[in-house]
Structure 1
Amino acid sequence: MSAAPPSTVPPGSRSRLVVGLLAAYGVLLVAAIASGNAWLDLLAAFALVTLLLSPGLRRGSAFAWGLWLLVGAALVALAAFGHGRLALDLMPIFVNLALCTLFARTLARGREPLIASVIAALEGRERLALPRVAGYARGLTLAWAVLFGAQAALLAWLVACAVPAGALAAFGLPSSFPLHGDAWRWYLHLGSYALVLVFLVGEYAFRRWRLRHIPHASLPRFVGRLVRRWPRLVRGFADDAARAAR
């Protein structure tokens, strides 16, 4: 497969595109859960896939376009067989697994931990050379990997064991630990992301105490810096993941 033409979308338009996709996913997600419409499930799942792959799609990456088409076809097939809701429910599991892999891979010997790379990009290499910063960066990278891995396992259990809308029930298989009701789905699609935000805020507070021997920016300033430099970080992460997948 040949690569799609490189994107000529200006940076401001790219940011608006990402915000638009995120808003569309949120609206479609709430509408899908509230209405039970299978095709809204499909559209929400497709919006999330497009959002996650948007950096590679904009750059014309053959890997990103091929994965986008493959996942899109799989989602349509699931919806056609009456499993559109299952397709949507699987998305948070894949997101958490991908993030767990992204963090865990950088802990291999000879690699720079992901948090160390983020610190270097946001605050410079000099920051990493300060006492205990590099060790903290490695420990935090491991903590994020464990968080995403544990959450992926929890979400997989929720999706598998839910009755009657879970994966096992959808294919006529019994569940040894049936989970009744729909409250789990709100955690799956909203609470799981909220937990990540809570961890982010709590970790930053802990960091300011643990590394109190060095100055720290306020949380709003840190988040603002992260948002401004996020596109460049995402491009680097996406390129790294694409190389690993080949």
Structure 2
Amino acid sequence: MNSLQMPSGSGLGLRREMLGEMLQKKPSNVDFFEVAPENWIPFGGKLAKQLKSLTEQYQFVTHGLSLSIGSPDPLDIEFVKKVKLFLDEHNIKVYSEHLSYCSAGGHMYDLMPIPFTSEAVNYVADRVKQVQDIIERPLVLENVSYYAAPGQQLSEIEFTKAVLEESNCGLLLDVNNIYVNSINHGYDALDYLKALPTERIIYGHIAGHFNEAEDLIVDTHGADVAAPVWELLEQAYRFHGVFPTLLERDFNIPEMSILTQEVERIRSYQHELGGMEQSA
């Protein structure tokens, strides 16, 4: 690829244990891959060369783990510069992260909810602009799952839309997170979905979760995608148009032939609803 490209079609989160299989033969229904920069930046040598051989052939996006955009700690400028080098090295345009934080006086190894307040909107937007200046690309933020809302003054959708608007960044639309939050916090998932700004959507995520109780779902990425989440993805395409969508699976990973059946299901929705759009 000679120029920075945006993703398209149906994608798969690439974990290091999948690398050997992908080097032998990429599944035909996987149009693009996603990697976490933190899982690759420390490595050189053979691993770096193997990843490079893939990024030279296929579309890639990145989904970070430790930017901690809402943290009270100062932004880690040196880390952001390393991400910039990684993106440039692999010719990747999209750097996405979580609309949350994972550090406060030290790394917490979990995604914590940013207070839904106007003050937090301005704080996060300023930090997003700093990141975008360094990486020389738009930052893409994901709507995240959360289990508590400390100091809440705005609704989740009000907060999310305000951050996107104030920072002028893109949206990674995580369909599973919408469903999880709708159950855990008692709102209508379709209303939330429809309220998101279509023009901000860069790509999407879909994943599995664990039903802890009737009113508590844990976002695990360790199970098959549930039926209500597939239904919500279909509604997302109907309302916002078909956008690139990626399957996340972080553990309990089945054989590739089984895993890519869900990727194929994404593709089938895209083809069906994309065709409807063209004939409308």
Bigger proportion of residues as strand:
2
TM-score range, shorter chain: under 0.3
Larger radius of gyration: 1
Q: TM-score under structure 1 normalisation? A: 0.25
